[in-house]
Structure 1
Amino acid sequence: MHITLRQLAVFAEVLKKGSTTQASPVLALSQSAVSAALADLENQLGVQLFDRVGKRLVVNEHGRLLYPRAVALLEQAGEIEQLFCDNNGAVRVYASSTVGNYILPEVIAHYRRDFPALPLELSVGNSQEVINAVMDFRVDIGLIEGPCHNVAIITEPWLEDELVVFAAPGAALLNVPVTLETLAAAPWILRERGSGTREIVDYLLLARLPRLRLAMELGNSEAIKHAVRHGLGVSCLSRRVIAEQLQSGSLVEVPVPLARLTRTLYRIHHCQKHLSCALLRFLRYCEAQP
């Protein structure tokens, strides 16, 4: 058996594009050459990698099994090529919102200072979106706010983070003793389900309240801060997210009758993902975060 990198590159591009016709310009090959390379690969493996549905090619279980291994081999081959040139491949990072908006900007600033020309792609979403992107090999690394329970993903502790209950300076909750009962009676403004922050807040705090008065669910931390500042309720977010508002006095920390609320931020990658030199270099900058 003599599988070539070109065959694997053809297979991977056809899988992404859904047809040999759409893959051919990306590969700089004719449509017939793409079809021939794919057919040769399937003949060598003795299996079909796609189901033929009209003019479309739909990846089947054999193709899904091959894809992560093919991508890993292609990335390693690309890394060998890059050993002898100045150009390095893009590092693709997907971070959940707290990490992407409030922690990574400083990391990227330090990275850019030392490597101003190296490409870096950052996407921001909620933790479930990050996990999905890592599972689909759309990104190299994910940084999330809660644990990942997918067995195909390697999850490593990264940073410790403190969560803070907060309210507007004139909130009624601040005029009475703060107990679990008064916390439960307050209107709560929370992140949406699927958010790592929401999962941890549910586990550390809300599960200990006798009941919950959910006033609103919002999709990002900035919206929550503004809603709380205008007196619409109380919330719980990372101290990193509300540090400036606590310092200015536009938001006030609410002392809760519980132990300090802390969580672990995690670094995740697919178990079959090849960690390139460029990616490991970026992760060293992430590890330098206090």
Structure 2
Amino acid sequence: MHITLRQLEVFAEVLKSGSTTQASQMLSLSQSAVSAALTDLEGQLGVQLFDRVGKRLVVNEHGRLLYPRALATLEQATEIEQLFREDNGHIRVFASSTIGNYILPEIIARYRRDFPALPLELSVGNSQDVINAVSDFRVDIGLIEGPCHAAEIIAEPWLEDELVVFAAPGSSLLTGDVTLARLAEAPWILRERGSGTREIVDYLLLSHLPEFHMGMELGNSEAIKHAVRHGLGISCLSRRVIAEQLDSGTLVELQVPLPRLTRMLWRIHHRQKHLSNALSRFSRYCEI
């Protein structure tokens, strides 16, 4: 059975108007097309929907049973058309942890104020998790903290981010000059491998140290902040992540003898991903 929306539309209009002639005028179809659609529908259902009384069509018990269901189906089809005509598709975003926890909440809040009912799914992981999800089409767009080298992914520069080396207020590194040698001797508390922050810290900072003392690796920035605050070592994270702690004095920035540590945050999508108007609109809200 292959009932079409057109057949249901013809049936509903014939019922309302009482004749194929008037239905054809309302639907801008020929009378023969209306009659054929109605005959095909009755043939597929195996019943007559109207009693033929002269030139009039009078709905019978089968037609009365079908009518509310036909209207509901046509209304749902209209809702589907309207849904995509207004670009109200379900957007799936995957962000690395610094972005997801400290940058996206403000963006999503602005987006939600303008589009409170539109579906938006946000996942947070490390940068490699994001890249894998974009590669597998499990999400529509990814936001990561480091470069992406996958050939199937298009990476666009998004935001500049500053990294800060920091310690607890009682750290011995706060007395005297902070040299590369002293930084090398200190225990470092860093994000896990696969994290975009870790990749950039390895490249911009740790590669300049004569040696490197790993204190521990932790899977999220909040754990790192607490570990550093309790004097377990020093670390390097985005200024956005530790801004409140720097302002309150619970963490202290170390002035390292290196150029300003900056990185680019990236917006990524699969090379074969269709960028809908809804997705492009969300991307515009990300421009801060």
**Aligned 8 A contact 1:140 1:269 in 2:** yes
Q: TM-score, normalised by structure 2?
A: 0.71
CA distance in structure 2 between the aligned counterparts of 1:173 and 1:107, rounded to whole angstroms:
37
Aligned position for 2:141 = 141
- Rg larger in structure: 2
Look up the equivalent residue of 2:197 and give its one-letter code.
T
Aligned position for 1:250 = 250
Look up the equivalent residue of 2:196 and give its one-letter code.
G
CA distance in structure 2 between the aligned counterparts of 1:170 and 1:264, rounded to whole angstroms:
32
Aligned position for 2:131 = 131
Residues 89-147 of structure 1 show CA distances to partners (whole Å, capped at 9, x for unaligned) of: 21100000000000000000000000000010000000000000000000000000000
For residue 82 of structure 1, report the CA deviation from its aligned partner. Answer: 3.2
CA distance in structure 2 between the aligned counterparts of 1:80 and 1:123, rounded to whole angstroms:
28
Residues 242-289 of structure 1 show CA distances to partners (whole Å, capped at 9, x for unaligned) of: 0000000000000000110000000000000001111111000001x1
Aligned position for 1:241 = 241
Alpha carbons of structure 1 residues 224 and 132: separation in structure 2 relative to 1, 3 Å: same
**Aligned 8 A contact 2:94 2:141 in 1:** yes
**Aligned 8 A contact 2:168 2:230 in 1:** yes
Residue aligned with 2:132, SS: helix
Look up the equivalent residue of 2:130 and give its one-letter code.
V
Residues 45-76 of structure 1 show CA distances to partners (whole Å, capped at 9, x for unaligned) of: xxxxxxxxxxxxxxxxxxxxxxxxxxxxxxxx
CA distance in structure 1 between the aligned counterparts of 2:89 and 2:281, rounded to whole angstroms:
12
Look up the equivalent residue of 2:245 and give its one-letter code.
Q
Equivalences for residues 37-116 of structure 1 within 5 A: 82-84=83-85, 88-116=88-116
RMSD of Structure 2 on Structure 1 (CA): 1.5
CA distance in structure 1 between the aligned counterparts of 2:129 and 2:81, rounded to whole angstroms:
31
Aligned position for 2:217 = 217
1:280 aligns with 2:280: yes
What stretches of structure 2 of length at least 5 have no aligned partner? Answer: 1-79
Residues 18-45 of structure 1 show CA distances to partners (whole Å, capped at 9, x for unaligned) of: xxxxxxxxxxxxxxxxxxxxxxxxxxxx
For residue 172 of structure 1, report the CA deviation from its aligned partner. Answer: 1.2
**Aligned 8 A contact 2:87 2:278 in 1:** no
CA distance in structure 1 between the aligned counterparts of 2:162 and 2:84, rounded to whole angstroms:
41
CA distance in structure 1 between the aligned counterparts of 2:100 and 2:271, rounded to whole angstroms:
23
Look up the equivalent residue of 1:193 and give its one-letter code.
R
CA distance in structure 2 between the aligned counterparts of 1:80 and 1:135, rounded to whole angstroms:
29
Higher mean displacement: 163-172 or 175-184: 175-184
Deviating runs (4+, > 4 A) in structure 1?
none
Look up the equivalent residue of 2:95 and give its one-letter code.
A
**Aligned 8 A contact 1:87 1:118 in 2:** no
Residue aligned with 1:170, SS: coil
Look up the equivalent residue of 2:110 and give its one-letter code.
H
**Aligned 8 A contact 2:87 2:276 in 1:** no
Look up the equivalent residue of 1:250 and give its one-letter code.
T
CA distance in structure 2 between the aligned counterparts of 1:87 and 1:97, rounded to whole angstroms:
28
What stretches of structure 1 of length at least 5 have no aligned partner? Answer: 1-78
Aligned position for 1:151 = 151
For residue 88 of structure 1, report the CA deviation from its aligned partner. Answer: 1.7
CA distance in structure 1 between the aligned counterparts of 2:89 and 2:257, rounded to whole angstroms:
50
Aligned position for 2:53 = none
Aligned position for 2:28 = none
CA distance in structure 1 between the aligned counterparts of 2:193 and 2:150, rounded to whole angstroms:
17
Residues 185-244 of structure 1 show CA distances to partners (whole Å, capped at 9, x for unaligned) of: 111000000000000000000000000000000000000000000000000000000000
Alpha carbons of structure 1 residues 155 and 87: separation in structure 2 relative to 1, 3 Å: closer
CA distance in structure 2 between the aligned counterparts of 1:145 and 1:200, rounded to whole angstroms:
8
Alpha carbons of structure 1 residues 80 and 156: separation in structure 2 relative to 1, 3 Å: farther
1:194 aligns with 2:194: yes
CA distance in structure 1 between the aligned counterparts of 2:129 and 2:87, rounded to whole angstroms:
30
Q: Percent identity?
A: 77
Residues 155-201 of structure 1 show CA distances to partners (whole Å, capped at 9, x for unaligned) of: 00000000000000001111232000001011100000000000000
**Aligned 8 A contact 2:168 2:229 in 1:** yes
**Aligned 8 A contact 1:189 1:216 in 2:** yes
